């Protein structure tokens, strides 16, 4: 991680923490690996075609997920990458990884 300088204070919204995390192929690959190790499942709703991903935290819960949005905690805190979106992107063929994702 590169060092960053202190930015002059920004009024009013300065209390919002900078939780921006990088959107990198490596993070997507790691997220997919975590999803697989966690045994997460992806399901498509028959009626609407929407996708849901099971939760690792709560075995009775599922998150509504699209390629760009997810209801999980990581997404809620602004992370562009999460296990659920990684699974969906991989399922849709939009994560072009070789089969070397850690099992």
The distance of Cα 82 from the centroid of its chain, to the nearest Å, equals: 1
Radius of gyration of the CA atoms of the chain, in A:
16
Any contact of residue 95 with Zn ion (CB under 5 A)? no
* CB-based burial label for 5 (10 Å; 0-12, 13-18, 19+): exposed
Any contact of residue 89 with Zn ion (CB under 5 A)? no
Find the binder of Zn ion among 62, 81, 84, 89 (CB under 5 A): 84
39/41 Cα distance (integer angstroms): 6
Residue 55 CB, shortest distance to Zn ion, in Å, is 9
Q: What is the DSSP letter of 69?
A: -
Residue 15 CB, shortest distance to Zn ion, in Å, is 25
Residue 78 CB, shortest distance to Zn ion, in Å, is 12
67/85 Cα distance (integer angstroms): 5
Any contact of residue 72 with Zn ion (CB under 5 A)? yes
Any contact of residue 82 with Zn ion (CB under 5 A)? yes
Residue 69 CB, shortest distance to Zn ion, in Å, is 9
Q: What residue ranges bind Zn ion (CB under 5 A)? A: 70, 72, 75, 82, 84
């Amino acid at each position: 991680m590169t060092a960053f300088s202190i930015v002059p204070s920004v009024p009013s919204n300065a209390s919002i923490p900078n939780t921006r995390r990088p959107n990198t192929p490596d993070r997507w690959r790691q997220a997919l690996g975590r999803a697989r190790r966690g045994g997460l499942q992806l399901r498509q709703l028959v009626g609407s075609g929407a996708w849901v991903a099971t939760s690792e935290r709560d075995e009775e819960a599922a998150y509504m997920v699209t390629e760009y949005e997810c209801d999980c905690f990581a997404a809620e805190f602004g992370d562009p990458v999460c296990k659920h979106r990684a699974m969906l992107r991989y399922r849709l063929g939009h994560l072009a990884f070789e089969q070397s994702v850690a099992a």
